[in-house]
Structure 1
Amino acid sequence: MSETMQNAGAGPVNFSPSAAHHRASPTHHDSFSGNSRSLDELMTLKPYFAGQPKSLSGIALRAFCLGITLACSAISMGAILFLTTSPAWRVPFFLFALSAFHFLEFWTTAEKNTLVASIGSFLLTANWPGYAIAHSAAFTECAIVNLFFPNRHWAPYGTDPILLLLGLVMVAAGQYVRSVAMLQAGASFNHHVQTRKKDSHELVTSGIYSVFRHPSYFGFFYWGLGTQLVMGNILCFFAYAAVLWMFFSKRIKHEEAKLIEFFQDDYVQYRKRVGTKIPFIA
């Protein structure tokens, strides 16, 4: 990651086979040709083998697919924008935003919380099937409206450009806040609410956490709403707002009960100082 040489002497050689001369090669427990590893080493590496939670081949495949999808959606978006007058560029825009989001979910985890980075860190199947249904509905509404009703006025009083710009700002700002929050929290961040305090858990109150109490939730909330503004989805905008608000309201309540248990009065005082900046979630 030997051959045994015979001694060619002038006289006869009294050769007696023994364990030293005929030692069987160690049994290989993995797929690496010519490389013998102990069982302990193999068990340590097992999570990185194909089909395992941290499979390197699985991670590479997903990153490759996300990169191809991001590139194709960017090319499609640019072609529609510069070669036609159709508003259908909004469809590949959503695919572009989703590809960037899921890649950054894994990258930020791998960068600052390496030990827990896995295939699941891409969040491609998170909250399945509700997550997939929500995005499918957004794609469907946007495609139907922009392909069959391209001249419809979905925003009141000619505010289409303003709402479009607002949506783009919300998508960019939401993604930035979420990614920075994950990087600054490091090992203290996890995609799942933790029920036990680990030695690596620290109460992060500086940086972006001094502005938002749950910056990753704030970021995704406004990122999601921003995508629907850009796409011009009236129905999905309000549906996203309702579903995301209910999801984060319930999750924050559950998570903060654990955070108070972990950090006691330190978290209580932090919660008093810093808000979530999500409407009606104090």
Structure 2
Amino acid sequence: MTVSAAGAGQIIWVLGVVAWYVIRYPFARRAKRLRVVQDQRSKIETIGLAAALLGLAVVPGIYVATGIPRMADYPAHAWAVGVGTILYVAAMWIFRRTHKELGKNWSITLEIREKHQLVCSGPYALIRHPMYTSFLLMGLGQAFLLSNWVVGLAGLLGFAILYFLRVDREERMMLQYFGPEYRAYMDRTKRIIPYLY
């Protein structure tokens, strides 16, 4: 039995989402054990997280399970599935590295935990927000893997909403907590794309 390019793209997308969950789960469990010393959660952040969840998981999940919305389908190509696979693998590699580097400092929301340290190693040596980089790569990978205009753009839109609602607030929180140390870190790094932005 041969799998079509569209079917292969969907299978790889599902495997990517499973990998995302497997990577995140142990860190989420450990994070609950540490005391939060500063919390800047807000409705705006909740909207950003919900948009990312919808665009990178719910909308494509519905599409993979049901084919809806079929009217936005376009022909799938093996080269696009190949590009999407490379992007998704890169996203998962960066996602895993960010969690490993952050360790106990990781949080899904804007929080500072007890004994929080500024992490400047691994991917953080080049960019301040490599987790957002992984989400951007996931959104791009999704656009290549799932041959549907609505679903492809949903991932990028979900990422963009999260990024633009959250990154400035996150950097203000880090400046407030780490002061000149974080300012110096900002001066020598880019936000999400090494050497560019």
Letter in 2 for 1:174: A
The equivalent residue for 1:144 is 67
Distance 1:177 1:92, change over 3 A: same
Distance 1:235 1:129, change over 3 A: closer
The equivalent residue for 2:75 is 153
Shift of residue 168, structure 1, vs aligned partner = 0.6
Distance 1:222 1:130, change over 3 A: closer
Shift of residue 109, structure 1, vs aligned partner = 4.4
Runs of 5+ consecutive residues of structure 2 not aligned to the other structure: 35-47
Letter in 2 for 1:249: F
Larger relative contact order (CA 8 Å, sep ≥ 6): 2
The equivalent residue for 1:276 is 191
1:209 aligns with one of 121, 124, 140 = 124
Computed over aligned residues only, the root mean square deviation of the Cα atoms, in angstroms, reads: 3.3
The 3-state SS of whatever aligns with 1:115 is: coil
The 3-state SS of whatever aligns with 1:84 is: coil
2:21 aligns with one of 87, 102, 105 = 102
User: Cα deviation per residue 1:9-55 (whole Å; 9 max; x = unaligned)?
Assistant: xxxxxxxxxxxxxxxxxxxxxxxxxxxxxxxxxxxxxxxxxxxxxxx
Distance 1:185 1:231, change over 3 A: same
Letter in 2 for 1:231: L
Shift of residue 198, structure 1, vs aligned partner = 4.3
The equivalent residue for 2:53 is 131
Aligned partners of 1:92 and 1:205: how far apart in 2? 35
User: Cα deviation per residue 1:180-221 (whole Å; 9 max; x = unaligned)?
Assistant: 111111122211101xx5441111112221022111121122
TM-score (norm 1): 0.54
User: Cα deviation per residue 1:98-122 (whole Å; 9 max; x = unaligned)?
Assistant: 12211210124457x5735xxxxxx
TM-score (norm 2): 0.75
Letter in 2 for 1:242: L
Aligned partners of 2:117 and 2:135: how far apart in 1? 22
8 Å CA contact retained: 2:127, 2:190: yes
Shift of residue 84, structure 1, vs aligned partner = 2.7
Aligned partners of 2:144 and 2:27: how far apart in 1? 26
8 Å CA contact retained: 2:125, 2:189: yes
Q: Does 1:260 align with 2:175?
A: yes
Distance 1:132 1:247, change over 3 A: closer
The equivalent residue for 1:78 is none
Distance 1:102 1:266, change over 3 A: same
Aligned partners of 1:128 and 1:276: how far apart in 2? 22
The equivalent residue for 2:7 is 88
Letter in 2 for 1:268: R
The equivalent residue for 1:189 is 106
Aligned partners of 1:244 and 1:149: how far apart in 2? 20
The equivalent residue for 2:80 is 163
The 3-state SS of whatever aligns with 1:262 is: helix
Q: What is the aligned residue count?
A: 181
